[in-house]
Amino acid sequence: MEFTNESEKQQYYMEQCRQLIQAKEQKLGRKLTACVVTFGCQMNFKDSEKLLGILKQIGYEETDDEHADLVLYNTCTVRENANLKIYGRLGYLHKIKDKNPEMIIGLCGCMMQEPHVVEKLNKSYRFIDLIFGTHNVFILAELLYERLLTGHKVESIWDGTTEIVEDLPSIRKYDFKCGVNIMFGCNNFCTYCIVPYVRGRERSRDPEEIIKEIEALAADGVVEVMLLGQNVNSYGKTLEHPISFAELLRRVEQVEGVERIRFMTSHPKDLSDELIEVMAQSKKICKQMHLPLQSGSSRLLDRMNRHYTKEDYLLIVEKLRKAIPDIGLTTDIIVGFPGETEEDFEETLDVVSKVRYDSAFTFIYSKRSGTPAAEMENQVPESVIKERFDRLLKLINSISKEKTAVLEGTTQPVLVEEKNGKLEGYVSGRLSNNSVVHFPGCEQLIGKIVSVNLKEAKGFYYMGEMVE
């Protein structure tokens, strides 16, 4: 077969799979189901929406139940814990497959880009039918077709790709908000991080394609978009006609129907004054930034290859707060990076006290084989890490509580996201700064932006009341 482009080729395979699935359905007298389970970050969630889009087009019915005809784990490998979780759950899947030998089990995502993982899977987890990686998510139909046709295990891992395939199906978990990839991969090689090895080099999507996608989403009722990239601040630098991230934001702002714009993740080293200016002037960009610190020690930041110092970071925060006084700031911090001393750790505590984050994700350093940090001397003993981690968490939590209390009693615009799972007759939504509020309301409000009085700050969230 000759195809003019990749998306046409994949459409062909989707159709081929659809016919095979239809025949199976007729034989069984029921619909076939597919379950995609996502581990890890927003990028993986977005990839899973694409995988589900393809599976739905093929004819599978989506389910959350892992007793499905096809189960796909979209894996994460950023920390060792993530990997251990997958191996544990595979044991559980194996038992399900014992009862349903026709079941297809697939694994994809970041873990699959590590050769030692695939080796282990091939040796000890032989019941897996489909293995592919992060670079070829878009060929799911082609791989599945081969599996359905031959009954053999299919494995396809690419080392990298320069290709960005547009115009493939994707489903949305929420009707009113959606993640939009603006770039793929990462070029930063922070010394602790496996991401550049498993997600490849940085590639930006064409701004025209991004805007086209957002216009279509807005026409379909989406009011909030989250622009996704490992380092959005370096967006566009490698395009044939380079544009800055700030310029992209200006263009997204023009899209009618879009009411809220978020983005992640920002790397402090590339955060420009132009971006701060655009955010300050914008009516749609949410007053929120996730700005990973990783460590407050300039000595460790250098060993982490982060390209900023403690002082640089604090200066950025000062500029942000000056231009956008009510901006919500969140961060990522690693405790126990090799060689971290008590003094280094105290520098981290110092930054946390000075910045006063709204919330922070804290991680215990995890050794990832193949990264430079894994080879570094002076790995910190577990007991020391644990003690530091607890101290850090205590400080972050007490600050978060105080920060949340500041808005108590005020009325804020809130995008209603879902029915509250615990409180009957309540819904939950988010403020511009990403804080969550629960308040009495009906399902019809989901996807709407309403005014809510924040009656009571409850530590990390609010209880509120809608204002007419």
Q: Is the separation of the CB atoms in 338 and 377 below 8 Å?
A: yes
Question: At its nearest, how many Å lie between ligand SF4 and the CB of residue 165?
Answer: 22
- According to DSSP, the β-strands at 328-335 and 288-290 are parallel
Q: Report what 3 binds from ligand SF4, ligand 5AD, none; CB cut-off 5-8 Å by kind.
A: none
Choosing from 44, 113, 136, 231, the residue that interacts with ligand SF4 (CB under 6 A) is: 231
Question: At its nearest, how many Å lie between ligand SF4 and the CB of residue 373?
Answer: 11
Question: At its nearest, how many Å lie between ligand 5AD and the CB of residue 363?
Answer: 4
Q: Report what 188 binds from ligand SF4, ligand 5AD, none; CB cut-off 5-8 Å by kind.
A: ligand SF4
365 contacts ligand 5AD (rule: CB under 6 A): yes
Q: Is the dihedral of CA 57, 59, 61, 67 positive or negative?
A: negative
Strand partners, 274: none
195 contacts ligand SF4 (rule: CB under 6 A): yes
Largest CA distance in the chain: 68
* Cis peptide leading into residue 265 (ω within 30°): yes
Backbone angles phi, psi at 282, to 5 degrees: -70, 145
Choosing from 39, 132, 192, 313, the residue that interacts with ligand 5AD (CB under 6 A) is: 192
230 contacts ligand SF4 (rule: CB under 6 A): yes
217 contacts ligand SF4 (rule: CB under 6 A): no
**Binding string to ligand 5AD for residues 64 to 83, with x set by CB under 6 A, is what?**
--------------xx----
From the list 204, 152, 210, 154, the residue with the least C-alpha distance to 179 is: 210
48 contacts ligand SF4 (rule: CB under 6 A): no
CB closer to ligand SF4 out of 35 and 186: 186
From the list 182, 160, 178, 158, the residue with the least C-alpha distance to 170 is: 178
3-state helix, strand, coil in the chain (%, to 5): 40, 20, 35
Q: Report what 196 binds from ligand 5AD, ligand SF4, none; CB cut-off 5-8 Å by kind.
A: ligand SF4
Q: Is the separation of the CB atoms in 200 and 156 below 8 Å?
A: no
- The helix/strand/coil state of 255 is coil
Q: Report what 363 binds from ligand SF4, ligand 5AD, none; CB cut-off 5-8 Å by kind.
A: ligand 5AD
104 contacts ligand 5AD (rule: CB under 6 A): no
CB closer to ligand SF4 out of 77 and 188: 188
Question: At its nearest, how many Å lie between ligand SF4 and the CB of residue 454?
Answer: 33
Q: Is the separation of the CB atoms in 45 and 179 below 8 Å?
A: yes
Task: Give the side-chain half-sphere CA count within 13 A for 314.
Answer: 16
CB closer to ligand 5AD out of 47 and 142: 47
Specify the DSSP element, H or E, that contains 7.
Answer: helix 6-28
**Binding string to ligand SF4 for residues 175 to 194, with x set by CB under 6 A, is what?**
-----------x-xxx--x-
Question: At its nearest, how many Å lie between ligand 5AD and the CB of residue 21?
Answer: 36
Q: Is the separation of the CB atoms in 17 and 140 below 8 Å?
A: no
Question: At its nearest, how many Å lie between ligand SF4 and the CB of residue 85?
Answer: 20
Nearest 5°: CA angle at 177, between 175 and 182?
A: 130
Residues that bind ligand SF4 (CB under 6 A): 186, 188-190, 193, 195-196, 230-231, 267
